[in-house]
Structure 1
Amino acid sequence: MSKHLTKGKGLQDLMELMIESLMRSVLREFLDTQPDNKWNGYRQGRSYGNGRELEFRIPRDRYGNFHPTILALLRDQEIECERLAGSLYSKGLTQSEVGEVFEEVYGRHYSKGSISRMIEYLREDVDQWLSHSLETNYPIVFVDAIHIKVHRKDRVETEAFYVTIAVKEDKTREVLGIFNRPSESSGGWQEMFESLQSRGVHSIGLLVADGLKYLEDALARVYPTTPLQKGVTHLKRNMLNKVRHSDKEELSEDLREVFQTGNQYYTAEQA
């Protein structure tokens, strides 16, 4: 799943979205302390992150006094950017522990009450993104379930996050959504597909997934004409588990020769 996020502009779009949302949240709180000041549009900005140049709109105030602290942190070093962007992605989109990011970045500049309000601003932007309209057709959609430990009151629990990434008609990638459920289930997958449908996705040309439990039945109920292509990784593992340890290396070589997934000119007949 991670390789599909980093190709095109999948993860990059999410990072830019979260950084922009963070800056808007801080500007709202900044303007509350200056009654005679106002929001004055945006200016284009760039920073470095995840091995790429990020582009985003930086909100500005009337008097030019607002300077987003996060931009200075992102400029410091690549490692800092990746760590911070990763926190915004994982914590922001899940709405879990996002306050830790604000405390870390802005704790010395704002009170706890201000940080709490900024978190709510950010959550509004996240909710808006999670429900935004989608295209009517996607040729290919990748889905996966990622299990992440989250804090729930006084305990830590592992929950499932369903991630959907689409390949569009122009061959670029788009993150369609991230859906949090306590665990993987047929009902959870069906809710995810129904959510995509309610946001405008009428057809999916091909769904690509690993051997996920309950997924096939849920897909058939919501998108009955969509074929499911399973990834080869789990198939290889299952085959290797059925041979002696001394034969695994030989079988692995055979499987690498058969499944040349990185070669776009390799045909089924050749395999």
Structure 2
Amino acid sequence: MARIKRDPKSVDLAHKIIEEYEPKSVDDMQNALKDIFGPMFESMLQGEMNHHLGYESNNKGEKDSPNRRNGYGKKTLHTRSGEVEIDTPRDRDGSFDPQLIPKRQKDVSAIEDKVLSMYAKGMSQRDISSTIEDIYGFSVSHDMISDITDAIFPELEEWQSRPLNNCYTFLFVDCMFTTIRNDYETKKYAVYTILGYTMEGKKDILGIWLNETESKHKWMQIFDEIKARGVEDIFFISMDGVSGLEEGAKAIFPDVIVQRCIVHLIRNSIKYVPSKDYKAFTASLKKVYGAQNLSACQSAFESFKQQWSAYPGAINVWTNQFHHVEQLFDYGSAIRRIMYTTNAVESIHSSFRKVTKKGAFPNENALFKALYLRIKELEEKWEGGHIKNWSMVMNQLLVHKDLEKRVQKYS
């Protein structure tokens, strides 16, 4: 396997750091980086001063300028690697107002936050380094970017094992696949994701898990785990058609109502339909699952079977799973709109793909890191919001006799 190509300047710098500091641990490396930050920030501030005055230090233009350098002041900066003391340049008339580290600002961890944000958006280390250089005028090595992003691992581990709510009204479960380089080959891995809706109508990603395949056994392990982390009850689970998944969910949460995703059923059935008939076929289906009541749904289904009898494979998909369609009409329209599809979690996977599309990851940790940073961005967007028409959903849950006591227990 070919070695990773490194920037010679970065390699030279790394060798000098190792020779100077002789690091024996990650903490030693962090201390070395902290020492590097000081000269780096000082160099950037000197560049700003040169631009402000219009000439570099010791330039002959200084003699003719009404404003000159006037020594240095001391400043202690807060970075993610710890406290760093720097010398800040001053000018004679006090008009120098640095932009990178403004006067009276001491916290510069925002630069590191920007690196994390760019990484979360799927930018490569090369792109991040180039962007930082364009904005701030200095380069950041790939290794430094990796060090900055690796700092979130303790937070990720804490998040992945955190206690969960004791009850979720809805869970949406799904898998997506991405690629990891494993020794000398690339291999597809399944990313398991669970999205929950709390009793307050808030979105909560319960966790992400990796496995080489999607299987009911892995889902069983995941359901066992979330139960151990505090989940006592789940009202509804929406899922695709993985064999044994419904039985596995009910083995852990006996009272859960499992709903097959209607969108997945549509996708499975149109495999048997010529593309010229897609539009008319799906329009007929919508009259079935979108009916006003169960009687209208059953009537529409009989018409649907007659209309599309030329495609028995498509009809069989719906006949075999029609009890999941009928089940929808046990509940009010606000509940049906939520439970009938796994689109909510598939939307998260769509967001994940913006990160994973850049190519294969070198290991599982690199993938977890990228996905977790993406999750943090999603959670910031969800902050303060709630599911549309949530009050109507709660009212419809309360009038359902099998759910009323459970709602009251956890409200």
1:173-221 deviation line (CA, Å, top 9, x unaligned): 1111111111112221111111211211111111001112331232132
Secondary structure, aligned partner of 1:252:
helix
Assess if the C-alpha contact under 8 Å between 1:30 and 1:66 holds in 2: no
Q: How far apart in 1 are the matches of 2:129 and 2:244? A: 39
Give, in angstroms, the shift of residue 259 of structure 1.
2.3
Q: How far apart in 2 are the matches of 1:224 and 1:113? A: 49
Query: Residue 121 of structure 2 is aligned with which of 77, 81, 86?
Result: 86
Q: How far apart in 2 are the matches of 1:101 and 1:194? A: 40
Secondary structure, aligned partner of 1:212:
coil
> Which residue in 2 is equivalent to 1:258?
288
> Which residue in 2 is equivalent to 1:161?
191
Q: How far apart in 1 are the matches of 2:278 and 2:140? A: 58
Give, in angstroms, the shift of residue 72 of structure 1.
6.5
Question: Relative to 1, partners in 2 of residues 1:69 and 1:137: Cα closer, same or farther, differing over 3 Å?
Answer: same
Runs of 5+ in structure 2 lacking a partner? Answer: 1-29, 39-74, 81-103, 298-411
> Which residue in 1 is equivalent to 2:218?
188
Assess if the C-alpha contact under 8 Å between 1:189 and 1:214 holds in 2: no
Answer 1 or 2: which has greater helix percent.
Answer: 2
Give 1:68's aligned amino acid: A
> Which residue in 2 is equivalent to 1:120?
150
Assess if the C-alpha contact under 8 Å between 1:206 and 1:226 holds in 2: yes
Assess if the C-alpha contact under 8 Å between 1:160 and 1:181 holds in 2: yes
Task: Give percent identity, aligned residues only.
Answer: 20
- Within 5 Å, give how 1:25-104 maps onto structure 2: 32-33=34-35, 37=76, 39=78, 64=106, 66=108, 68-69=110-111, 84-87=119-122
Q: Tell which structure's C-alpha radius of gyration is larger.
A: 2
Q: How far apart in 1 are the matches of 2:31 and 2:145? A: 9
Give 2:111's aligned amino acid: T
- The question of 1:205 aligning with 2:235 is answered yes
- Within 5 Å, give how 1:222-261 maps onto structure 2: 222-241=252-271, 249-260=279-290
Q: How far apart in 2 are the matches of 1:103 and 1:122? A: 19
Question: Relative to 1, partners in 2 of residues 1:72 and 1:110: Cα closer, same or farther, differing over 3 Å?
Answer: closer
Answer 1 or 2: which has greater strand percent.
Answer: 1
Question: Relative to 1, partners in 2 of residues 1:173 and 1:104: Cα closer, same or farther, differing over 3 Å?
Answer: farther
> Which residue in 1 is equivalent to 2:182?
152
Q: How many residues align?
A: 204
Secondary structure, aligned partner of 1:228:
strand
Runs of 5+ in structure 1 lacking a partner? Answer: 1-27, 42-61, 75-80, 89-97
Assess if the C-alpha contact under 8 Å between 1:206 and 1:229 holds in 2: yes
Q: What TM-score results when the alignment is normalised by the length of structure 1?
A: 0.60
Question: Relative to 1, partners in 2 of residues 1:270 and 1:111: Cα closer, same or farther, differing over 3 Å?
Answer: same
- The question of 1:268 aligning with 2:303 is answered no
Assess if the C-alpha contact under 8 Å between 1:69 and 1:105 holds in 2: no
Question: Relative to 1, partners in 2 of residues 1:246 and 1:104: Cα closer, same or farther, differing over 3 Å?
Answer: closer
Question: Relative to 1, partners in 2 of residues 1:154 and 1:105: Cα closer, same or farther, differing over 3 Å?
Answer: farther
Assess if the C-alpha contact under 8 Å between 1:31 and 1:38 holds in 2: no
Give, in angstroms, the shift of residue 235 of structure 1.
2.3
Q: How far apart in 1 are the matches of 2:149 and 2:258? A: 39
Give, in angstroms, the shift of residue 241 of structure 1.
4.7
